[in-house]
Amino acid sequence: MASVLKARPRKAEDIENLACEVIKSFQPDALIQLKKFDVEEFFEFELKNHTGIEPDTYNFPDEIDGCTDFEEKKCYISLNLMEYGECEVTRRRLRATQAHEIGHCFLHVADARRNQKFQQKFVNDKQSSLRMYNPDDLKAYENPEWQAWRFASALLMPEHCFKRAVECNWTKKKIKYAFDVNPSFIEVRLKELKISARLKNG
At 10-32, the pLDDT tens digits run: 999 999 999 999 999 999 999 99
190 within domain boundaries: no
DSSP-derived letter for residue 101 is H
**Cα–Cα distance between 61 and 183 in angstroms, integer?**
25
Q: Examine the pLDDT at 146 and tell me if it is beyond 50.
A: yes
Torsion of CA 122, 125, 129, 134, to 10 degrees: 90
37 within domain boundaries: yes
120 within domain boundaries: yes
Q: Give helix 144-156 / helix 88-107 axis angle, nearest 10°.
A: 120
Sequence-ordered list of residues with C-beta below 8 angstroms from that of 81, at least 6 positions apart, any chain? 65, 66, 90, 93, 94, 97
Q: Examine the pLDDT at 121 and tell me if it is beyond 70.
A: no
Closest CA to 152 of 182, 195, 172, 126: 182
58 within domain boundaries: yes
Higher pLDDT, 80 or 132: 80
Closest CA to 176 of 167, 168, 166, 186: 186
Q: Examine the pLDDT at 157 and tell me if it is beyond 90.
A: yes
28 within domain boundaries: yes
50 within domain boundaries: yes
Q: In the predicted model, what is the mean pLDDT of residues 186-196?
A: 97
Domain count, the chain: 1
Structural domain including 31 reads 12-156
Alpha helices (H) along the chain: 12-26, 39-41, 47-51, 79-82, 88-107, 109-114, 144-156, 159-167, 172-179, 183-192
63 within domain boundaries: yes
144 within domain boundaries: yes
